């Protein structure tokens, strides 16, 4: 089994008859670095929710890390997300009063890992993203690029099979954004499968594989 993501004939229709994703087939193999790229309204965000098991398809099948999402209950889906999928969003979603190491360790709360082990993994993840000297800093003491690095450290601290990055440079200046893309490349080279959702064709074009979307379809 070489695919971490397998979508077959996936359609998502919301109440009111809006079809956001239409008959999509997609395979992402372990170790790939892929951009899902398209304009606003193309279905990228719905794809993120389906691949991240945050939503279920109306039709078709979604398999993530070998698991058929349709066969899993809510608790099993939560466990799959906690243990096998890392999320990075455009908004950093860091707790303002918490240090960098605490923000990263908090991301491991639902994995059943003891506190001292959570903190050890959090420190290792922050060192990995180049923030070993910022462990005790709170978000307001960090630049935008550094805050996104903390968010990435939180996403990879549990060693997920898949890292989903949704517009990870959307709130950053071009220099910080380039640093984040370079970091995602480094993580991928070290073995993490990375899927970047973006409207930025320049970022998408810099990655090894692009999956262009328009009107809910892969084109």
pLDDT tens profile 61-114: 999 999 999 999 999 999 899 889 999 998 899 999 999 999 999 999 888 889
49 has a pLDDT exceeding 80: yes
The confidence score (pLDDT) of residue 218 equals 95
Q: Which two tokens stand for residue 196?
A: 């970047």
pLDDT tens figures, 193-205: 999 999 999 999 9
Name the residue ranges covered by the structural domains of the chain.
3-212
Residue whose pair of structure tokens reads 């970047």 in the numeric block? 196
Maximum pairwise Cα distance, the chain? 51
pLDDT tens figures, 137-181: 999 999 999 999 999 999 999 999 999 999 999 989 999 999 999
- pTM for the predicted model, two decimal places: 0.93
Query: How many residues are given for the chain?
Result: 219
Can you tell me the distance from the alpha carbon of 77 to that of 205, in angstroms, rounded to the nearest whole number? 32
Can you tell me the distance from the alpha carbon of 157 to that of 219, in angstroms, rounded to the nearest whole number? 34
The confidence score (pLDDT) of residue 1 equals 60
Judged by DSSP in three states, 61 sits in: strand
The confidence score (pLDDT) of residue 15 equals 92
Q: Which CATH number fits domain 3-212: 3.30.428.10, 3.40.50.1820, 3.30.420.40, 3.40.50.300?
A: 3.40.50.300
The confidence score (pLDDT) of residue 82 equals 87
23-37 mean pLDDT? 97
């Amino acid at each position: 089994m070489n695919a971490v993501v397998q979508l077959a004939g996936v359609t998502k229709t919301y109440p009111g008859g809006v079809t956001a994703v239409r008959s999509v087939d997609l395979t992402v193999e372990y170790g790939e670095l892929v951009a899902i790229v398209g304009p606003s309204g193309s279905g990228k965000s719905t794809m993120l929710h389906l691949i991240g098991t945050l939503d279920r398809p109306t039709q078709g099948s979604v398999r993530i890390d070998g698991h058929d999402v349709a066969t899993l209950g809510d608790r099993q889906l939560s466990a799959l997300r906690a243990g096998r999928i890392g999320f990075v969003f455009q908004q950093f979603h860091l707790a303002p009063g918490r240090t960098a190491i605490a923000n990263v360790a908090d991301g491991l709360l639902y994995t059943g890992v003891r506190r001292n082990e959570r903190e050890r993994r959090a420190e290792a993840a922050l060192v990995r993203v180049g923030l070993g000297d910022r462990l005790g800093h709170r978000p307001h003491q960090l630049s935008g690029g550094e805050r996104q690095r903390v968010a990435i450290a939180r996403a990879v601290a549990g060693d997920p099979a898949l890292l989903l990055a949704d517009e990870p440079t959307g709130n950053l200046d071009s220099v910080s954004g380039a640093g984040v893309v370079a970091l995602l490349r480094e993580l991928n080279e070290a073995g993490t499968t990375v899927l970047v959702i973006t409207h930025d064709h320049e970022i998408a074009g810099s990655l090894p594989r692009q999956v262009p979307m328009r009107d809910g379809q892969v084109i």
